[in-house]
Structure 1
Amino acid sequence: MSFIARPSLLRAVGTAPALRATLLGSRRFVSTEKLNELENLKLLNTQRLARPRSPDLTIYRPQITMVASGLHRITGVAIGGAFYAAALVYLLHPIYPAIDSAHLIDFFHGLPTLAKGSLKALVAFPLTYHSFNGIRHLMWDVGKGLTIKGVYVSGYAVFAATAVATLYLAFGL
């Protein structure tokens, strides 16, 4: 026979094992050996150490797109967590009657001005950033600002609007 048959082709046509051995030769291409469980685990760990690793975030220069995306996710989780925590606190009102709006307002009123402003900024930042960046994402959904320049301009605009709104809400009211 003057052609070279692939093993998958020979299996597909159902060629006899004797003919396969004649066409492919009697060489074994793979050798195997039996390993016990401990040796198998050691071999697997050795192979895992030799695998290439994907790069870590620390090798990349931070870009506004990367920072804005991560911050949007973080502020979303923070807002959701704060709402759940506040709801749980109010659920404890029957057990601890001191937890109600009047007591919380009195507590907050008694804090120093800098502490009040800092707490308000801590609440205002995630709300304003997530809101402004959400508007940015809605603009993208309708196809506006999807160029590289548009993405960067809208990113800086979101950060500027967040800074102004946070400072106004925390210290201006």
Structure 2
Amino acid sequence: MKQALWDGVLRVVDSLKNSQPGHFSSRDAAHYNADETSVTCDMRMGQDDGTSTVYRITITVEASEDSADDFWTEPSPHPGIWRQPADCEPERRVVVDGQHYTIGPGNSGGFGGRRFDIKFFDGRLVTTHDLWSQGTIPPKHRGRYPDNARFVPQETEPFVLNLGEPE
């Protein structure tokens, strides 16, 4: 973690106005807090008039959890641009192993147009070349979006490399 924090300080330093790598006249040692989630460093940049501009740089890392409530419970604020799970018509909703997918209208080519055979628990079998992923459903929202299908493995034909006629 210390190296990542120090790398963050150096990126900030390089972005400062009038900064050039190695242009600083001095910098103090990095000061880390006890749990190593922040680092503070003073950087002195010498000026033409003999003074120095001192930059005190503090980089802090704070971890938090976001259950993405807006994404999983609200309709998209941009209808037609991005389909959120709440926008999805039930017959187009595919949930496999806690992953949420939407079957598109058929002309967008989700997953690069790859073929998916989907067996729904209600008995439907759907083949699509327009499947879109909304990602893993957070535990908090899995009751709202339970698994409703499975992917049917596709049989693949053996690949034969034809190198021309034998001599």
- TM bucket by the smaller chain? under 0.3
TM-score by length of 2: 0.18
1 or 2, which has the higher strand percentage?
2
- Whose RCO is larger (CA < 8 A, sep 6+)? 1
Structure with the greater alpha carbon radius of gyration: 1
1 or 2, which has the higher helix percentage?
1
TM-score by length of 1: 0.18
